[in-house]
Amino acid sequence: MATPESYKILVIGGSAGSMPVLTALIKELPVPFPMPVVIVIHRLKNVQSELSALLSAEQKITEPDDKDSLLPGHIYLAPQNYHLLIEADGTISLDYSEPVNFSRPAIDVSFDSAVEAFGKKTLAILLSGANKDGAAGICRIAGSGGMAIVQDPLTAAFSTMPRAALNQCTGLHTMTVNEMIRYLRNISTKINTEK
Amino acid sequence: MVEEISHTDFTELLRIIQQRYGYDFTDYSAASLKRRFSRFTGFAGVHSTFELKHRLLNEEPFFREMVRYITVNVTEMFRDPSFYKVLREQVLPRLASYPIIKIWHAGCSTGEEVYSMAILMEEAGLLDRCRIYATDINEGNLEQAESGVIALKDMKEYTANYMQSGGISDFSNYYTAHYDKAIIRPFLRRNIIFFQHNLVTDQVFNEFQLICCRNVFIYFNRALQSRVVKLFYESLTSLGYLALGIKESLLYNDERAKFETVNLANKIFRRKM
């Protein structure tokens, strides 16, 4: 496994029941967090969305345009109706192809592209949700030596998503929200002292 | 899904396609394209990257099938209603001053947005004076587009989009329902020409007052986006309009300075004099 200091990206996936967790994570995330953060949440299409505004209450969050650069200290939210892919050159590609796991954005698509681009330097978190999106992707990240965290199903409002991942592979780290926060702060400190 | 496609294999696949068939995918967004390749191998029952390369080298129909598969794009009528609203309110009145209005839909996919445009022009009383050139790299898309056939089940959503875009007519006047299909009525198709055009390799073919190229750039890297915007610049009349997808940007484009912004949220730009 890569050392925590080498992580290049944090990708967070969530669905039903993940909003309170995300809000807490964003609130407690050290500022500036020393790598780009990408958030993928299942959302309805073609409705006015307040999601970005809601989450931005704690820290500024942007819905990226295609080919925007991923910068440390920035938080990106996958826009409605597009898959968000991470390119090896550190830019974002959006994708309008068919939904995956009935979802667009799909968590698996972003997880897959992150590990494709950054390999074991990928850090990913899978939160509460009522379907199985993200399970395959986070298992691939774990399998590639990246850091793969799933929300403790006992603390998840909908445990289907974290359980799907835990049933599919080993090498995942189960954490409560407070443990995630502690872990992310720890990483942030380590990277900052490294500099 | 089969094995992951390694970087080396990916580069070699692109080289085979380019040398054998003349299609250049090298400046497509790598992450999206790799994903399309993987999905195609699953779809076609190809078991290894080796087999994929072998079949591409030796079976032209297999290649044709793959191009059709990987360049298929999902589209909708009146996708992003706010875009069509701005088009209706701010762009069409300007276009109305031209005796002949030429519009290019580059990357028109299966035509849903082309017919949306035809509806806008019809409602503005401009369709008779208008020529819509709708192009795509994918022959399968074009055949489907030309047929004017759309799944009836999608019409409910499209009707809602249409109304959100400021449409006030009865949307069902624009198609006839036939079993599970909706067929776009012939009067809307009267001034549309569909043909194949590859934005990567093909050139300027006419001069336009409006070019719509929505959700195509997302599949291109920055360098290719710049080259295509140059092509669009050369294909536009002075003060001609360029419309991109609402998540696409001219920000990283070498040609940015040659365009002014008409509406940033809906990504409508205009060629400077």
A96 closest CB neighbour out of B30, B36, B218: B218
User: Could you report the per-residue pLDDT of A143-184, keeping only the tens digit for each?
Assistant: 999 999 999 999 999 999 999 999 999 999 999 999 999 999
What is the assigned CATH class of domain B81-149+186-271? alpha beta
Q: Which residues of A are part of the catalytic machinery?
A: 15, 42, 133
CB contact under 8 A, B32 and A95: yes
Mean of pLDDT values over A20-30: 92
Task: Count contacts between A and B (CB, < 8 Å).
Answer: 70
B29 closest CB neighbour out of A64, A93, A112: A93
Residue B82 touches chain A, beta carbons under 8 Å = no
Write out chain B residues lying below 8 Å of A91, CB-based. 222
| Minimum distance, in Å, between the CA of residue B99 and any CA atom of chain A | 36
Mean of pLDDT values over B152-177: 96
Token code pair at residue B232: 């669009």
pLDDT of residue A44: 66
User: What SS3 class is residue A18?
Assistant: coil
B30 closest CB neighbour out of A79, A87, A98: A87
Burial class (CB in 10 A: 0-12, 13-18, 19+), B180: exposed
* Dihedral of alpha carbons A112, A114, A120, A123, sign: negative
**Alpha-carbon distance B38 to B21, whole Å?**
20
**Alpha-carbon distance B89 to B165, whole Å?**
10
Mean pLDDT over all residues of chain B?
A: 94
CB contact under 8 A, A85 and B31: yes
Backbone φ/ψ region at B22: left (φ over 0), alpha (ψ -120 to 50), beta: left
pLDDT band at A53 (very low <50, low <70, confident <90, very high): confident
Task: Give first-to-last CA distance, chain B, whole Å.
Answer: 50
User: Could you report the per-residue pLDDT of B33-45, keeping only the tens digit for each?
Assistant: 999 999 999 999 9
Better-predicted residue by pLDDT, B253 or B110: B110
Disruptive mutation site among B247, B261, B266, B267 for chain A (greatest number of A CBs within 10 Å): B247
User: Could you report the per-residue pLDDT of B83-100, keeping only the tens digit for each?
Assistant: 999 999 999 999 999 999
Residue with tokens 């994918």: B138
* Dihedral of alpha carbons B216, B217, B218, B221, sign: positive
| Minimum distance, in Å, between the CA of residue B97 and any CA atom of chain A | 33
**Alpha-carbon distance A125 to A147, whole Å?**
8
Write out chain B residues lying below 8 Å of A66, CB-based. 217-218, 245, 247-249
CB contact under 8 A, B73 and A97: yes
For residue B266, count other CB atoms closer than 10 A to its CB: 19
For residue A132, count other CB atoms closer than 10 A to its CB: 18
CB contact under 8 A, A68 and B160: no
pLDDT of residue B2: 44
Mean of pLDDT values over A17-36: 92
pLDDT of residue B126: 97
Q: Please state the φ and ψ torsions of residue A154, each to the nearest 5 degrees.
A: -70, -20
**Confidence check: pLDDT of A4 > 90:** no
Question: Letter for the amino acid at B173?
Answer: N
Write out chain B residues lying below 8 Å of A86, CB-based. 31
Share of chain A above pLDDT 90, in %: 80
- Spatial CA neighbour of B39 closest among B74, B70, B6, B7: B70
Write out chain B residues lying below 8 Å of A79, CB-based. 247
Write out chain A residues lying below 8 Å of B74, CB-based. 96-98
Rounded to two decimals, the pTM is: 0.93
Residues 6+ apart with CB under 8 A from B147: none
Among chain A residues, the shortest Cα distance to B246 is held by: A65
Residue B273 touches chain A, beta carbons under 8 Å = no
Query: Where do the domains of chain B lie?
Result: 7-70, 81-149+186-271
**Confidence check: pLDDT of B240 > 70:** yes
**Confidence check: pLDDT of B3 > 70:** no
User: What SS3 class is residue B74?
Assistant: coil
pLDDT band at B246 (very low <50, low <70, confident <90, very high): very high
Residue with tokens 């990483």: A187
**Alpha-carbon distance B101 to B80, whole Å?**
23
| Minimum distance, in Å, between the CA of residue A157 and any CA atom of chain B | 31
Residues 6+ apart with CB under 8 A from A148: A124, A126, A138, A139, A141, A142, A165, A171, A172, A173
CB contact under 8 A, A46 and B221: no
**Confidence check: pLDDT of A70 > 80:** yes
Beta bridge partners of A12: A39, A125
**Confidence check: pLDDT of B233 > 60:** yes
Write out chain A residues lying below 8 Å of B157, CB-based. 46
**Alpha-carbon distance A141 to B264, whole Å?**
37
Residue B217 touches chain A, beta carbons under 8 Å = yes
For residue A116, count other CB atoms closer than 10 A to its CB: 23
CB contact under 8 A, B161 and A46: yes
C-beta separation of B219 from B29 below 8 A: yes
pLDDT of residue B178: 93
Disruptive mutation site among A93, A102, A113, A116 for chain B (greatest number of B CBs within 10 Å): A93
**Alpha-carbon distance A14 to A127, whole Å?**
5
Disruptive mutation site among A52, A63, A67, A113 for chain B (greatest number of B CBs within 10 Å): A67
Beta bridge partners of B106: B135
pLDDT of residue A57: 73
Mean of pLDDT values over A112-118: 96
Write out chain B residues lying below 8 Å of A116, CB-based. 4, 31, 34
pLDDT of residue B67: 93
pLDDT of residue A152: 97
User: Could you report the per-residue pLDDT of A29-49, keeping only the tens digit for each?
Assistant: 999 999 999 999 997 665 556
* Cα A105 to the center of its chain, rounded Å: 12
pLDDT of residue B213: 97
Share of chain B above pLDDT 70, in %: 99
Burial B73-98 (b: 16+ CB within 10 A, else e): bbbbbbbbbebbbbbbeebbeebeee
Strand pairing report for B175-178 and A92-95: unpaired
Token code pair at residue B270: 């205009």
Mean of pLDDT values over B107-128: 97
State whether ipTM is beyond 0.85: yes
List strand residue ranges (DSSP E) for chain B, in order.
101-106, 130-136, 149-151, 175-178, 181-184, 192-196, 208-213, 236-244, 259-263, 268-271
Mean of pLDDT values over B142-149: 96
